Amino acid sequence: MDLFKESENIVTFKVDNHDLNLEEFLVTKDLSGRLFRKLYKEKNIYVNGKTRRKGLKLEKGDIVSILMENEEENTMPEKMDIDIVYEDFDLLILNKQPNVVVHPTKSHQENTLSNGISYYFKEKGIQKKIRFVNRLDMNTTGILIVAKNPFAHQQMALQFESNMVEKKYQAIVKGSVEKEEDYIDLPIGREEEKSIKKTITDNGQDALTKYSVIERYSNGSLLDVQIFTGRSHQIRVHLNHIGHPIIGDTLYSEESSYINRQALHSYYLKIKHPRTKEDIEFIAPLPEDMKGLINHLKNK
């Protein structure tokens, strides 16, 4: 195996600063202490193709490689149509469809997105675990990021934790929203200790949402929504709080005769690629059920 050449299992870094040791150098590449210790213990960190001690002083021009071994995914494979937006060594970007559960649970072992990805990995000979980076509710559609190795997962998680990811949604809400755009800066917490429902509360977590109106209808509005924090149910809670709940959201509003879920779609994500650090953008078109709801509102 050529440890100087990047591949599905090998990430390489060229040293341009000779004042750092091996561990310090990888810290500058945002490798977490936990992942460093795991790779080091498994002897999967190399300098110029050889395993070396972590305190080794690096020289300018050295090539540092980390090896991520093949893995076994234990989720039951199930043939399924999955909408792939983008794929490379590190990432699998999906456009999640409506009413699809992402993870298997005790009561829901089949027909999850994980089952479909497991089948796809096996079909393509991808020997990696499934690592979801971001979350979408079962009834929310749009862009989901799957990391195909622990390095990519750790790098992407860091971006989400640091609010470095640009996240935009489209939502169809009740009523004609008056302001062209506005920010909602209100903390969100659990309504009751064991409830899944969230609410605006002084002792909640900070949450910042921006919305702008794309179109207004007689009894609804299509909004472009950007979130700067990643609180659970953030958009649903914030829009409900200003008197414009998402149509079809049965938890915060009521059922709709024209869509069988909340009309919320994650259409845009901008991230830094975990390996190259270059900006990349992903766009998922509005799903058919939300297009149908818009047509109904336009003709009402």
Catalytic site residue 137? yes
CB 4 within 8 A of CB 65: yes
Rounded Cα–Cα distance for residues 89 and 146 (Å): 11
With the CA atoms of 26, 160, 206 and 28 taken in that order, what torsion angle do they form, in degrees rounded to the nearest 10?
10
CA 233 to chain centre: 15
Sign of the CA dihedral with 71 first, then 276, 228, and 218 last: negative
Beta strand 131-132 pairing with 198-200: unpaired
- Residues 233, 198: contact at Cβ < 8 Å? yes
For the record, the structure tokens of 252 come out as 């915060």
Contact 45, 39 (CB under 8 A): yes
Binning the chain into helix, strand and coil, the percentages to the nearest 5 are: 20, 30, 50
Tokens at residue 166, please? 């640009």
Active-site pick, 30, 137, 182, 224: 137
Fill in the DSSP letter of residue 100. Answer: -
Strand partners, 142: 96, 266
Q: Is 265 helix (H, G, I), strand (E, B) or coil?
A: strand
289 and 259 Cβ atoms separated by less than 8 Å: yes
Active site residues: 137
